[in-house]
Chain A
Amino acid sequence: MSKFHSMVSRRDFMKGLGMAGAGIGAVAASAPVFHDIDELIASDTAVQPRPWWVKERPIDDPTIEVDFDMMERHDGRNQGQSARVRAMYYGADRVLGAAALSAAELAERTASNYPGYTYRSRALAGSFKRVSPGTAPGWAETKDPAPVKTPEERGEPKWTGTPEEASRMLRAAMRAYGASLVGYTELTQEHRDHVIFSYEKGDSNNEKYIGTDVPVTAARPIVFENVTKAYETTEKLVIPNVPLWEIALSTQGSNELWRSSGTLLGGFANSNTFYNCGNLHASTYNFLRYLGYQLIGTIGNDSRYVGSEGGAAIMAGLGEASRQKLYTLTPEYGAPGRLYGVLTDLPLEPTHPIDAGIYRFCHSCQKCADHCPPQVISKEKEPSWDIPLTEGKETIFSVKGTKAFYNNLPLCRQYSNETSHGCRICWGECTFTVNRGSLVHQIIKGTVANVSLFNTYFYKLGEAFGYGADAEKAETWWDLSLPTLGQDSTITAADGGYGK
């Protein structure tokens, strides 16, 4: 048949129609259809999607090099935040004098109407109250609010499913309770021998322990025992020698508040990340309890952390290490937010460490270090296995076994306590603490993940374009219309049309 008068013959048209119909049919047949919740949790679409530029790495092989043989279980009492540890390096007089300096700065800035210290700023930051149930959770039991009944108490079998199903189910539940990113690691023997803290932090930060040993009643040892259930006494915290998995999770922060760091609003940025921790802990504990499983450790109470929350986040692929050692930066929201790590005996599928080029970028970028008022952040070009001395003394607050950049954490906390705002300027200054309005951020993040050649250029560009913290932003903040809690929870959403 001649095609002179028509570009498409009737036969071709019908053939095309058939092909299109078959194509639509194939797409429809392969599209997910969920009949009930059990099918939904088994679906791949329930897996937490990451930005396109994030690559997975093998289990236990994050971008920061780790040598478990070098690593010893860290004593949670030896933290840079601890008054006792700070006094070891800077003396008791300076540690105890911090509050007076902070009060003097507050009075001076209030008198001069400094940005972020206006009447309304003082009201906002000073009125933060964390009122929620479950604010005093236990090591293995949370009795307030009243716990749900276990499967045994209800007379039904405990929930069972594959680790993949359990992982998706728990992630969906924790996200609904207020978590942002959620990942998992298996608690291997190496983790038990080298990663889990040897002591809880407990009350060891208290100034009354300056110059003394911390008694076990104030900070208990964390021990493994051949029991099936975790428990605690006044002298120890017990982890059972049963298969366990660590849940690494984050809650979010408010970028705009963090960019006001160096003011009272910047201090409030830190408080803002804690708003829902008590509810998140209590709900997650009870969710696992309802299913018939344990939650060990606490979400939101760092006095009973099972280990470094940054380490767990890195191993589970929530983010990567940074110029501030294990302070983790996530591809989604950079520095703001809060990390937690807890244990469970619900079998979970481990998630992989990630490579988004973040740690490699930190090798070239030192924006946080440049802007750090007490200059406690390393400016070394390359990370090291060797922990440097601190003020000529052994650095007892850092953990060996990672090829990292090391910070003077006692001076960091000491300086923070001596200010009226708590500092945290590094979080607001971080190159990765950016929003999503400009397309350029996605382009740069995608480039950084694959090519390190432009890293120094991007770091300098961020400075030139004026990204970062500024006290003046504390006053313009009041006129902004921001999301609830100031946190962009849609940044981790892939379904429902919420993700941009």
Chain B
Amino acid sequence: MWFFIGILIGALVLGFIWWLKHKNLHLTWYEWLIGAVGLILLVFTLQNFMGSFEEVESKAAYMFLLVTGLPSLILLALTWQLAARRLSKA
């Protein structure tokens, strides 16, 4: 399953890069960095959320949503806002 999730994420990232090029948009290095960390953390959260349910550890599953899932979304939102506000000023 994770093989296909990897392909899906790769396709989404590739699509995102193409979309940026198509729109002639550019991200700064730190926006890439924060976004990449957020994405890795999101995938890590998904794996552990699903893995914890496989292990019949439901409390651990929800704790992953809170402890790593929430920061991952904050980082991704931060990237989006940084880029959006910078581009709207330009």
Contacts and interface: CB of A to CB of B under 8 A. Distances in A.
B contact residues, range: 10 to 19
Interface in A413-447: 434-440
B52 A437 contact: yes
A310 B70 CA distance: 43
Contacts of B63: 464-466
A387 to B, nearest CB: 37
A contact residues, range: 10 to 19
A29 interface: no
A465 B60 contact: yes
Nearest to A482: B56
Interface string A457-481: 0000000111100000100100010
Contacts of A464: 63
A141 interface: no
Interface string B55-87: 111011001100000000000000000000000
B51 interface: yes
A246 interface: no
B52 A438 contact: yes
B70 to A, nearest CB: 15
Nearest to A479: B56
A256 interface: yes
Interface centre among A437, A473, A480 (most CB of B within 10 A): A437
Contacts of B55: 434-438
A474 to B, nearest CB: 12
Contacts of A437: 50-55
A434 B52 CA distance: 10
Given A437-B52, A437-B54, A465 B59 contact: yes
A438 B56 contact: no
B59 A440 contact: no
A466 B51 contact: no
Nearest to A462: B60
Contacts of A480: 56
Given A439-B44, A439-B51, A465 B57 contact: yes
A256 B47 CA distance: 21
Nearest to A259: B56
Interface string A218-237: 00000000000000000000
Contacts of A436: 55
B31 to A, nearest CB: 27
Interface in A348-379: none
Interface of A: 256, 434-440, 464-467, 473, 476, 480
Interface of B: 44, 47-48, 50-57, 59-60, 63-64
Given A438-B51, A440-B48, 20 more contacts: A256-B56, A434-B55, A435-B54, A435-B55, A436-B55, A437-B54, A438-B47, A438-B54, A438-B57, A439-B44, A439-B47, A439-B48, A440-B51, A440-B64, A464-B63, A465-B60, A465-B64, A466-B60, A467-B57, A476-B56
23 contacts: A256-B56, A434-B55, A435-B55, A435-B57, A436-B55, A437-B54, A437-B55, A438-B47, A438-B48, A438-B51, A438-B54, A438-B55, A438-B64, A439-B47, A439-B48, A440-B64, A464-B63, A465-B57, A465-B64, A466-B60, A466-B63, A473-B56, A476-B56
